[in-house]
Amino acid sequence: MPIQVLMPALSPTMEKGNLAKWLKKEGEPIKSGDVIAEIETDKATMEVEATDEGTLGKILIPEGTADVAVNTPIATILADGESAADLAKAPAPAKQEKAAESAPPTAAKAEAPQPKAAPAAPQAVAEPDPEVPAGTEMVTQTIREALRDAMAEEMRRDADVFVMGEEVAEYQGAYKVTQGLLQEFGARRVIDTPITEHGFAGVGVGAAMTGLKPIVEFMTFNFAMQAIDQIINSAAKTLYMSGGQMGCSIVFRGPNGAAARVAAQHSQDYSAWYSHIPGLKVVAPYSAADAKGLLKAAIRDPNPVIFLENEVLYGHTGQVPKLDDFVIPIGKARIVRSGSHVTIISWSNGMTYALKAADELAKDGIEAEVIDLRTLRPMDTETIINSVKKTGRAVTVEEGWAQSGVGAEIAARIMENAFDYLDAPVTRVSGKDVPMPYAANLEKLALPSAAEVVEAAKAVCYR
């Protein structure tokens, strides 16, 4: 049967792109690895490589076509021995639909519009949150929607709150997290900046020092390296250096860590970097509810807050409490899954591996207690220690590198506060000690996996 070539995605959040050019013509032979077309978005251009050998039987989407939905068939490859007559056996390309657009959030409507979620987006499974009153109505939201609603609610509540960053206004955010905010709050409070992180981060810090409450979005925290002097030397240290006379209520937010095939300069995890700095608070949520409640708390905090999101998680859905003012205190971890044999500690996308591993371990009779730190600085040491005293074993999971990582800090605190309760050494599962490769197969090997967490947990349980 003829093989269909599908419109690929440049990233997990891409919904559509432009088919810029065909590099092969109908009837030309194709080998695996041959570049057959180029696709592009407003941010990047990508080559489409053939994964099968044969002949380019039919081009289904002509070059120059804009807004081609991801996974739309764009061409058909004929295998050896097949002819044009076999093209009829291939499924017809699905009709493209216009991507869903969210209306701006409004004060009169508590529930935000629901863009069509990716079908594979998993639900975050968690125990009841003690911060949510029993019987509270829940709504299903993606993490990007929860973040957007948090900003909108705080901007309605406090006129000093505003958003600034690259493409946060007219383009609705690089990952559509600020969608609808420009329409509701206008260009004075939703500000597109030039591509100069050092510059607009400094403007944000200055605004915070005068009493405003900026939310500074970095398109990725990798770009925040250009602004790290403003974040650390200006935002984090000024309260101390001014003897408490000058504060800086500011939130720096954006995607952190690995995404998908964006290579070493766009895949770094900065959890350990920023959690090292006195004067900063560092938040890294995993679930939609935590993303909303913690972002609201960060915006209200009088100190500078680093709010580390994850691009891979933006489309994941979860239950968010339908409350007038849902705020989660910064600095409090959450026990997501109770257990008695081993404690697994993680945060942000590391929770994906931790929870999958806990499910696998349960099949072998090992009940893991899974802790979502949620906040890296200040760290909730008490919750970690109490859990380890119960289980006697601990495994930390992070996508960042092991040396001087957050897992190393957790292990040190366990040794200092619960050494006599340990039945095995604390074990770390982390990203491999290499820059992130571009190739998909190598990228997968460079990141931690649920299988590695299972192996570590069994090792400390002597199983």
Q: Treating both helix axes as pointing N-terminal to C-terminal, what angle do 406-418 and 381-391 enclose, rounded to 10 degrees? A: 60
User: Is the pLDDT confidence value at 70 over 90?
Assistant: no
One-letter identity of residue 309: E
What's the token pair of residue 155?
């901007």
In what order do the strands lie in the sheet containing 394-401?
A: 334-337, 368-372, 342-346, 394-401, 427-431
What's the token pair of residue 24?
């092969």
Assess if residue 102 is contained within a domain: no
* Higher pLDDT, residue 196 or 95: 196
Assess if residue 456 is contained within a domain: yes
Q: Give the domain extent around 409.
A: 334-436+444-461
pLDDT at 67: 86
pLDDT at 259: 85
Question: Do residues 168 and 303 both lie within one domain?
Answer: yes
Domain CATH for 263: 3.40.50.970
- Please check whether residue 410 is in contact with residue 384, taking contact to mean a CB–CB distance below 8 angstroms: yes
CA dihedral 381, 385, 387, 392 (to 10 degrees): 150
Q: Which of 279, 294, 321 represents a domain boundary (last residue)?
A: 321
Question: Do residues 277 and 254 both lie within one domain?
Answer: yes
**With b meaning 16 or more CB within 10 Å and e meaning fewer, what string describes 35-52?**
ebbbbeeeeeebebebee
Catalytic residue among 145, 154, 166, 266: 266
The per-residue pLDDT for range 12-47, each reduced to its tens digit, is 566 788 888 898 998 889 887 788 888 887 666 677
Assess if residue 127 is contained within a domain: no
Assess if residue 160 is contained within a domain: yes
One-letter identity of residue 27: G
Domain CATH for 394: 3.40.50.920
Give the CA radius of gyration of the chain.
Answer: 24
Mean pLDDT of the chain: 88
Question: Do residues 53 and 157 both lie within one domain?
Answer: no
Domain CATH for 21: 2.40.50.100
197 catalytic? Reply is: yes
State the first-to-last Cα distance of the chain, in angstroms, to the nearest integer: 47
Closest listed residue to residue 113, CA positions, set 139, 83, 131: 139
Listed in order, strand segments (DSSP E) in 25-81 are 29-30, 35-40, 45-49, 54-59, 65-69, 73-78
Question: Do residues 260 and 407 both lie within one domain?
Answer: no
Assess if residue 109 is contained within a domain: no
pLDDT at 115: 42
Question: Do residues 288 and 366 both lie within one domain?
Answer: no
The per-residue pLDDT for range 353-408, each reduced to its tens digit, is 999 999 999 999 999 999 999 999 999 999 999 999 999 999 999 999 999 999 99
Question: Do residues 293 and 355 both lie within one domain?
Answer: no
Assess if residue 326 is contained within a domain: no
Listed in order, strand segments (DSSP E) in 265-420 are 281-283, 305-309, 317-321, 334-337, 342-346, 368-372, 375-377, 394-401
CA 100 from centroid of its chain's CA atoms = 21
Question: Do residues 316 and 404 both lie within one domain?
Answer: no
Question: Do residues 229 and 262 both lie within one domain?
Answer: yes
Q: Which of 288, 321, 354 represents a domain boundary (last residue)?
A: 321
Question: Do residues 13 and 160 both lie within one domain?
Answer: no
Q: What size, in residues, is the chain? A: 463
Determine the Cα–Cα distance for residues 318 and 143; give it in Å rounded to an integer: 8
pLDDT at 77: 87
Residue matched to tokens 């220690």: 385
49 pLDDT band, cuts 50/70/90, is confident
One-letter identity of residue 219: M
pLDDT at 96: 40
In the chain, how many domains are there? Answer: 3
- Please check whether residue 387 is in contact with residue 343, taking contact to mean a CB–CB distance below 8 angstroms: yes
Question: Do residues 221 and 346 both lie within one domain?
Answer: no
- Please report which residue ranges of 39-142 form alpha helices under DSSP H: none
One-letter identity of residue 458: K
Question: Do residues 146 and 195 both lie within one domain?
Answer: yes
Q: Which of 30, 51, 78 represents a domain boundary (last residue)?
A: 78
- Please check whether residue 114 is in contact with residue 144, taking contact to mean a CB–CB distance below 8 angstroms: no
Determine the Cα–Cα distance for residues 147 and 298; give it in Å rounded to an integer: 12
Assess if residue 106 is contained within a domain: no
Q: Cα angle at 427 between 424 and 433, to 5 degrees?
A: 155
* Secondary structure letter of residue 235 according to DSSP: I
Question: Do residues 222 and 341 both lie within one domain?
Answer: no
* Higher pLDDT, residue 110 or 188: 188
What's the token pair of residue 77?
């490859």
Catalytic residue among 154, 197, 309, 399: 197
Assess if residue 119 is contained within a domain: no
